[in-house]
Amino acid sequence: MTLAERLEELTADRSLRGTAFSDAWRATVDPWLVATFEAACGPDGPAAGTSEAALVAVGGYGRGDLAPGSDLDLLLLHRSKEVPAALAEAIWYPIWDAGLKLGHAVRTPAEALGLAADDLDTATSLLTARHLAGDAELTAELIEAAHAQWRKKARRYLTQLRNAVADRQAQHGEVAFLLEPELKEGRGGLRDIHALRWAQAARSVLEAGDAESLDEAEQVLFGARVELHRATGRPSDRLTLQDQDAVAQGLGVSADELMARIATAARTVAWIADEAWDRVGASLATSISLLGWRSRDRAPGLVVRDGQVLLENSVDPAHRPDLVLEVATVAATKGARLARSTHERLVERAPMPAEPWSDELRERFVGLLRCGHDAIGVIEALDHTGLFERYLPEWAAVRNRPQRNAYHRFTVDRHLLETAANAAALADRTDRPDLLVLGGLLHDIGKGRPGDHTEVGMELIERIGPRMGLPDEDTAVLVDLCRHHLLLPDVATRRDLSDPVTIAGVADAVGDVERLRLLAALTEADSIATGPAAWGPWKADLVRELVRRVEHHLSGGDPAVLEVAEFPDARHRELMASGETVVEAADDTLTVIAADRPGLFSRVAGVLAIAGLEVRSADAASLDDMAVEAFQVTSRFGTMVPWDRVVAMVELALEGRLGIEARLAERIRTYSQRPARPDLPPPAVHFDDDASDTATVVEVHAHDRIGALYRVARVFAEFDLDVRTAKIQTLGEVIVDAFYVTHADGSLIDDRDLREELERSLLHAAG
């Protein structure tokens, strides 16, 4: 059996998970390399008679961390100035012939140490060097010298390493909280564990028990990495959404459980790393000085030193009910961390908050939230030690809770903290910033429990509010913010904002101007925290316009005062009167004027799909056997819209000279689409009879697929229905299309049998 065949066999053996796979693969590779080296140096080998040479495993291979796609990092060590090229070739070529990836170098100990003196990667790779074959004394000499040099130059190495860690974490983000974590390079990932061990080899930077905690976290993260390589067949370390189910299945858990385990492990690593690098930073400082202030008027018994908040020995947390929040606020405002000793004393001695909370305690809690993004890391540190849960027991259900859709970028707990932080930045938009930040923290608190998360969240808030000492009317506001936290973005993107029925419906739901302003700020904070797909200039403009109209309505203003863009406008009517076909594009809008006939809307939608464009909204109208349709679009890949090509294709389609079905099939083949994930909600169709007095609103929820709007629009054409307005929203891998439709004579769709048949056809088209 060849080496490649053995790797394939081990990879196919699903019982070999994590380190078990690594050990089995190393047990194959090590003796194979030893035999290869010895054969090359043997009497009949190409490098016969070679002495004072050794084959050394370095880097990840030296550590013994071998995933299916890992490189074999090897150093051919020799004492003489020249080593026979035949020896290197006799080792490297068989590895390449086996189809394995190889990192290789040929050096003397002096050369290796000289390079390591100036190159951090080389220096760290030698810290895990492991003898394989040849002159064992030569290898031992290098290993001893490399460690001695690492300790001797610790100050410079640790400075470089600390900076490299910060740069890497900034580039790759958090492992614990991101939808698609980078298992190796992200903050809290495997590379952080390696870096801590390298730092420990220079100076003692870990506390008692840290090494064991890192080992446990490594088992989780490395196990996921091995399974990811196995599932994808490539050396990828980013655990994408589409691969999570396969990785979880390989590990015998659900995808949610997998992501929660990864989050827990990564948070442990990040917690230990933050503290360790703070200690490294303090040890590297030329002098120890107080950072910040020490004021007995503002923070008696607290000191900020070397970037950490410390409790003076004279302070007894048992006698200071609000001390946890006070310490946390100081840390947030000063950009500091709570020292581990501070955490330990607070965990051991701080009392549970009395219920209901005092006004002072609640103000402390709100004050911490109003520190914005500076508070996130501090609150997560409190949560790591169980202190935050004392104030909000409901937090346990959302901790490390994944949101496995392409719409959300964070776990539920991190999303709530991000929302509260964003809300703090918008506090000047409302008279009640306290309720705004609390609403941000609690709007999704019902997730992670059975049932609809909004309804569950409302029930929880009805208990949380009184426990926090909030008046009943303030609790009611928080309940409403939870109830309606999706109202504004949903209406803005799915309904006709020029329809008075739309505005009146939102006004009735919200109730008053102050709640509307709170809800508007929460909507922005929530959407930004959700991810870039949830908030951009287009949606922001729609939400602002909706809020403007609803506020005008709630203030008793005349709806006629609000300027409404007429559709079709005077220019459209003039062009329609000419009876000529017109296809024109400007900015992000395609306008088509043509003879009114069934399927016109779907043809244009099909062309836009062929061109790789996403439709955000569309308006249509007819007059004297002529129709006008306006499509607002964006490029699926963020590139410039190729309007000349699009206009030409639309003209061909209107003339019946473009094979839309065939073109779409070609595009689908070119841009292959993965099957819909099994946990996605199935397609659904809803009829909303209250959303408009002049049209029937049909909502279609479907999986995002090339040509989805085209296929749905064809159904309306098949039933001889006119699409007056369409609103299209993409939520990750799901689209929500809202169509204002009527019969050709303008009447509503109220026949039950017709609705059932229409629903059946729409579900088929959306499937």
Single-letter amino acid code for the residue at 617: S
Query: Omega of the bond prior to 568 within 30 degrees of 0, cis?
Result: yes
263 alpha carbon, distance to own chain's centre: 12
pLDDT at 534: 87
- Residue 546 has which token pair? 């909706």
Give the count of beta carbons closer than 10 Å to the beta carbon of residue 314. Answer: 7
CB 332 within 8 A of CB 325: no
| Phi, psi (rounded to 5 degrees) for 559 | -55, -30
C-alpha–C-alpha distance, residues 411 and 378, integer Å:
17
pLDDT at 319: 86
* 483-500 pLDDT per residue, tens: 999 999 999 999 999 889
pLDDT at 222: 98
C-alpha–C-alpha distance, residues 154 and 152, integer Å:
6
**755: part of which helix (H) or strand (E)?**
helix 752-766
Q: How many CA atoms lie within 13 A of 10 on its CB side?
A: 26
Single-letter amino acid code for the residue at 197: R
In the predicted model, what is the mean pLDDT of the chain? Answer: 92
C-alpha–C-alpha distance, residues 615 and 258, integer Å:
36
Give the count of beta carbons closer than 10 Å to the beta carbon of residue 120. Answer: 16
Matching residue, tokens 């739901």: 509
> Is it the case that residue 472 has pLDDT exceeding 90?
yes
Give the count of beta carbons closer than 10 Å to the beta carbon of residue 598. Answer: 16
pLDDT at 680: 78
pLDDT at 85: 85
> Is it the case that residue 413 has pLDDT exceeding 90?
yes
- Residue 94 has which token pair? 């068989």
C-alpha–C-alpha distance, residues 390 and 509, integer Å:
34
The DSSP result for 9-76, as a single string, is HHHH-TT--THHHHHHHHHHHHHHHHHHHHHHHSTTSTTTT--SEEEEE-HHHHHT---TT--EEEEE
Q: How many CA atoms lie within 13 A of 690 on its CB side?
A: 6
C-alpha–C-alpha distance, residues 382 and 388, integer Å:
5
β-pair partners for 698: 687, 739
Matching residue, tokens 């005062």: 561
CB 113 within 8 A of CB 87: no
* 99-122 pLDDT per residue, tens: 899 999 999 999 999 999 999 999
Q: How many CA atoms lie within 13 A of 628 on its CB side?
A: 22
C-alpha–C-alpha distance, residues 221 and 229, integer Å:
13
* 538-563 pLDDT per residue, tens: 899 999 999 999 999 999 877 666 66
Helical packing angle, 433-442 and 472-483, nearest 10°:
50
CB 614 within 8 A of CB 634: yes
| 454: confidence class by pLDDT, cuts 50, 70, 90 | very high
561 alpha carbon, distance to own chain's centre: 43
> Is it the case that residue 37 has pLDDT exceeding 60?
yes
CB 623 within 8 A of CB 573: yes
The DSSP result for 439-453, as a single string, is HHHHTTTTTTSSS-H
> Is it the case that residue 505 has pLDDT exceeding 60?
yes
Q: Which residues contact 148 (CB under 8 A, 6 or more apart)?
A: none
| 51: confidence class by pLDDT, cuts 50, 70, 90 | confident
* 701-756 pLDDT per residue, tens: 998 888 999 999 999 999 999 998 888 887 777 889 999 999 989 999 999 999 99
Matching residue, tokens 């690593």: 269
Residue ranges of domains in the chain, CATH in brackets: 3-152 (1.10.357.170), 156-284 (1.20.120.330), 296-391 (no CATH), 412-564 (no CATH), 576-766 (3.30.70.260)
C-alpha–C-alpha distance, residues 604 and 613, integer Å:
11
**Average of per-residue pLDDT across 557-574:** 78
- Residue 707 has which token pair? 């040509």
Q: What is the DSSP letter of 178?
A: B
- For 15, 181, 223, 225, 248, the CA distances from 252, given in Å and listed in that order, are 10, 20, 12, 15, 6
pLDDT at 741: 95
* 264-322 pLDDT per residue, tens: 999 999 999 999 998 898 888 754 444 444 444 356 788 988 888 999 988 999 988 89
Q: What is the DSSP letter of 351?
A: P
pLDDT at 653: 96
| Residue among 144, 124, 3 at smallest CA distance from 68 | 3
CB 284 within 8 A of CB 159: yes
* 671-695 pLDDT per residue, tens: 766 666 667 789 999 999 999 999 9
> Is it the case that residue 80 has pLDDT exceeding 90?
no
* 187-238 pLDDT per residue, tens: 999 999 999 999 999 999 999 999 999 999 999 999 999 999 999 999 999 9
Least trusted range by pLDDT, from 46-55, 375-384, 437-446, 561-570: 561-570
Burial grade of 22 (CB within 10 A; 0-12, 13-18, 19 or more)? buried
| Phi, psi (rounded to 5 degrees) for 551 | -65, -40
CB 712 within 8 A of CB 719: no
Q: Which residues contact 343 (CB under 8 A, 6 or more apart)?
A: 381, 385, 387
pLDDT at 282: 83
- For 80, 247, 355, 436, 649, the CA distances from 603, given in Å and listed in that order, are 76, 41, 63, 46, 10
Strands (E), 520-605: 582-586, 589-595
β-bridge pairing 72-78 and 102-107: parallel
| Residue among 709, 619, 604 at smallest CA distance from 650 | 604
C-alpha–C-alpha distance, residues 120 and 116, integer Å:
6
Q: Report the chain's C-alpha Rg in angstroms.
A: 32
